[in-house]
Amino acid sequence: MKMKNKFLIGCLAIATLFGTQSCEDNLDIQPNSSLIAATAFQSVEDLQNALNSAYANYDNNTILLNSIFTDNTKVGVDNGGQQLTLHRLVLDPTTGVAGGIWISRYSMINKVNRIMEAAEQIEIPEGREDEVDNILGQAYALRAFAHFELFQYYTPDYQDPSGLSVPAVETVVTVENLPRNTVSEVYALMNSDLDMASSLLDSGSNDVKYVTPDFITALRARMALFAGEYAQAKGFAETLINKYPLADQAEYVDMYLDLDDTEVIFEAARVLGDARPGFIWHFSGGGPFIEMSNSLFNELDTDDVRYGVLLNADDSDPAANLHLINKYPGTAVEFLADIKVFRVSEMYLIKAEAEMRGSMLEESKATLKTLRDARFGMDTAAPDYSTLNGGLDFLLEERRIELAFEGHRYLDLKRLNRDLVRSQADCGNLDNACEISSSDRRFTLPIPLFEMNANPLMVQNPGY
């Protein structure tokens, strides 16, 4: 990687592999990747267990940032100070969520790099070569995915090939200090990893809780959108649109209860002991310390199935300015629900934007109408816009509703170069929390302070 010191990365890797000692207990250990591989990886089952651990590094931090640090939420009726700093739009190198995304994604990368290294050292029993290839295919895809998540949050300019991005990490990191790579270098590694993943994966795998060939296609569509490669984005999106139907209204409700996967391409499984997404906004027992914003609520239509999926209508009281978030409610266990990472509805939104960018406004309207018809359960009026900017404004609002509380809003505002503007009702009495311009430094996360202190080669993002 282009990062880390012995304590942060070496210790995290060891603690993850052995699961018992604290980082403080390991301060005197001199990490040795070959030793770790030899002792921790002795079988195909060990590789699979390590892969499962890598999947678990997908946490709630991106959902938290995209909901609280935007116009999708307001201070809740039961707030006692929870998340107020982030909601006030305070963002600096000590901010927890900036460090959390950095640590979780680089920990995922370090884990899969250990799997790749270990697979070369253990003896593979005859007849299990394809099983190991499938494990490695998932590992390469997860490395690309984790790098892209980091790329999205810490890269100032997505389309400047020579601009600084994040460290591109291809080997196990123990004590190395590594600098940031450029945008083009990070994209090169991600694309190379996805090519390798495609060559190794079981082409018939279709479990939405694991990397599949469709996961790779969805990631490529999202990457192409951010790179401004709109024709490619459209092609990848259409591949999945032709394979996955949109959920009808009943299926859409059940999707967030983990009862239906009709349009799910990949979901991050949550089990007991994992951080639950609903606890981003609620206390245990349901009391809200963060609520849906008035501006998002005002965008919802009661005929739209997303109204009841986003809003806990039973316990909310809009007349009293009480709007409880309902996404990821859980079934048997409160707020325990899988996180929807890739859905085919996002592919419709990517396709529509690509069509707009290609001067195909009427086609984009038809694409968006198909999505809206499914959500309203009826024939809806075609979107009304006649220019690219008008179309992008419409698309941004549709993305806001369709992808609310799934980790997109902050990134959408950044990528589409839009200001963050909150209504006065949502700002309340929080000073300087109503608006930040599209050019504000806070639309790129700071490199965490612990990284800056540990790594003399690391360069901070502008303005921090």
Whether 339 is in a domain gets the answer yes
pLDDT digits (tens, 9 = 90+) for 239-277: 999 999 999 999 999 999 999 999 999 999 999 888 899
Q: Looking at the structure, tell me whether residues 321 and 385 fall in a common domain.
A: yes
Residue 321 has pLDDT above 50, yes or no: yes
Whether 136 is in a domain gets the answer yes
Whether 191 is in a domain gets the answer no
pLDDT digits (tens, 9 = 90+) for 323-335: 999 999 998 899 9
The owner of tokens 């349901």 is 286
Q: Looking at the structure, tell me whether residues 367 and 232 fall in a common domain.
A: yes
Q: Looking at the structure, tell me whether residues 163 and 266 fall in a common domain.
A: no
Mean pLDDT, rounded, for 372-386: 98
Q: Which domain holds residue 277?
A: 203-418
Whether 175 is in a domain gets the answer yes
The number of distinct structural domains making up the chain is 2
Whether 184 is in a domain gets the answer no
pLDDT digits (tens, 9 = 90+) for 168-206: 999 999 888 999 999 999 999 999 999 999 999 999 999
CATH number of the structural domain spanning residue 317: 1.25.40.390
pLDDT of residue 34: 44
Q: Looking at the structure, tell me whether residues 111 and 88 fall in a common domain.
A: yes
What's the pTM?
Answer: 0.92
Q: Looking at the structure, tell me whether residues 339 and 257 fall in a common domain.
A: yes
pLDDT digits (tens, 9 = 90+) for 407-446: 999 999 999 999 999 998 998 777 788 999 999 999 999 9
Whether 197 is in a domain gets the answer no
pLDDT digits (tens, 9 = 90+) for 220-232: 999 999 999 999 9
Q: Looking at the structure, tell me whether residues 169 and 92 fall in a common domain.
A: yes
Of the pLDDT bands very low, low, confident and very high (cuts 50, 70, 90), residue 31 is: very low
